[in-house]
Amino acid sequence: MATITLSPKLAGFVDKLVQSGKFTTRDEAVTDALQKQMQREEELAWLKREVEIGIAQADRGELVEFNAEKITAEGRKRLAARKQ
């Protein structure tokens, strides 16, 4: 297992999370934070790919009428499916 050195501020934050009872160990708190960061990175990569697809479609003239409610509903549906 690797040893990671945290700044005093981050180490204190991790300790507070453990003391609060949210996590049982410092390792658990750090692992949770890294897993959440990894998920954010994956979601950002997915979003970038979707934007690139949209830009390519627009460049080809493949445009559709803008409907914010429909887009929001579809986005929420996709996000819910990814979290399962």
**CA–CA separation, 4 and 64 (whole Å):** 50
Q: Is 62 a member of any domain? A: yes
Q: Is 3 a member of any domain? A: no
Query: What number of CA atoms fall less than 13 Å from residue 18's CA on the CB side?
Result: 14
Can you tell me the mean pLDDT for 29-54? 97
Task: Dig out the tokens for 29 from the structure.
Answer: 């708190």
Stronger pLDDT, 82 or 28, i.e. the higher one: 28
What's the pTM? 0.65
Task: Dig out the tokens for 72 from the structure.
Answer: 């929001």
Most distant CA atoms of the chain, gap in Å: 57
Q: Is 67 a member of any domain? A: yes
Question: Domain of 36?
Answer: 8-83
Residue 65 pLDDT: 83
Stronger pLDDT, 19 or 64, i.e. the higher one: 19
Q: Is 2 a member of any domain? A: no
Q: Structurally, how many domains does the chain consist of?
A: 1
Residue 42 has pLDDT above 90, yes or no: yes
Q: Is 1 a member of any domain? A: no
